[in-house]
Amino acid sequence: MTATTTAQRKAPRPRADALRNRERIVTAAREMFTEFGPDVPLDEIARRAGVGNATVYRNFPDRDALIREVVCSVMDRTSEAAELALAETGDAFGALERFVHASADERITALCPMVQSTFDQYHPDLVASRERIEQLVEQLMDRARTAGQLRTDVSVGDLMVAVAQLSRPPAGVGCLTLDGFVHRTLQLFLDGLRAPARSDLPGAALTMEDLRQA
């Protein structure tokens, strides 16, 4: 047995209370970033999480690290919703619908703009989370398309742009205030995705790569 292997086995695991504190910080930060934006004081996040300021800085050395963790956690939760939808049997379009509504509940579109405005959007953690979501959504759409329930002239980019725009509050309207209306608007959009299509769409189906290049 090498010294390295011994050292790895003896490395202490995070204590349960430390993990709970970290989760409380991420949850509080997600709520406050959604309500007030990325500039909310970290002291206020610590207060809502019920931990001391030192605990916040011990887990996250700067604001960028905390925002990145929040965005990744929301993206991962959204991926889990997609995996649950993929595990469903029966109505493929119904599974896609449930995923769209679940992703809106995560308020991912209120958080993701922070990635572009505060730090490197190509950070490996963000790229991995983003690719996971895109692959899962593509699978959901492929299944609904194969079942003849999803119009054939749309792609992942079309879906993600529409969800982002329709679940983002208009100027002067709080994100939480929108909750009562967003699912109604999303359902109107989803009904427009059903096959057979009622109209021809201008241009080509939008991919996520199209969005990144734009």
| pLDDT over 60 (residue 9) | no
Rounded alpha-carbon distances, angstroms, from residue 115 to 28, 67, 70, 121, 208: 18, 8, 10, 5, 16
Position 156 scores a pLDDT of 92
Q: Are 124 and 172 in contact (CB under 8 A)?
A: no
Interaxial angle between packed helices 156-166 and 124-146, expressed in degrees from 0 to 180 and rounded to the nearest 10: 110
Quote the radius of gyration of the chain (alpha carbons, Å).
20
State the Cα angle at 155 between 150 and 158, rounded to 5°. 105
Rounded alpha-carbon distances, angstroms, from residue 10 to 13, 16, 18, 151, 155: 9, 17, 18, 55, 48
Q: Are 30 and 75 in contact (CB under 8 A)?
A: no
Tens of pLDDT along 161-201? 888 778 765 544 555 555 667 888 889 889 999 999 888 88
C-alpha dihedral (24, 82, 161, 104), degrees to nearest 10: -50
Q: Are 127 and 190 in contact (CB under 8 A)?
A: no
User: Which ranges of the chain would DSSP assign to H, the alpha helix?
Assistant: 3-10, 16-36, 42-49, 53-59, 63-87, 92-105, 108-111, 113-118, 124-146, 156-166, 179-193, 208-213
Position 146 scores a pLDDT of 96
Residue linked to tokens 């011994």? 6
pTM for the model: 0.76
Position 172 scores a pLDDT of 47
Tens of pLDDT along 80-120? 999 999 998 889 999 999 999 988 888 766 665 555 555 67
Tens of pLDDT along 117-148? 556 777 888 889 889 999 999 999 999 999 99
| pLDDT over 90 (residue 151) | yes
Q: Is 205 left (phi over 0), alpha (psi -120 to 50) or beta?
A: beta
Tens of pLDDT along 19-62? 899 999 999 998 888 778 778 899 999 999 999 999 999 999 98
Position 130 scores a pLDDT of 87
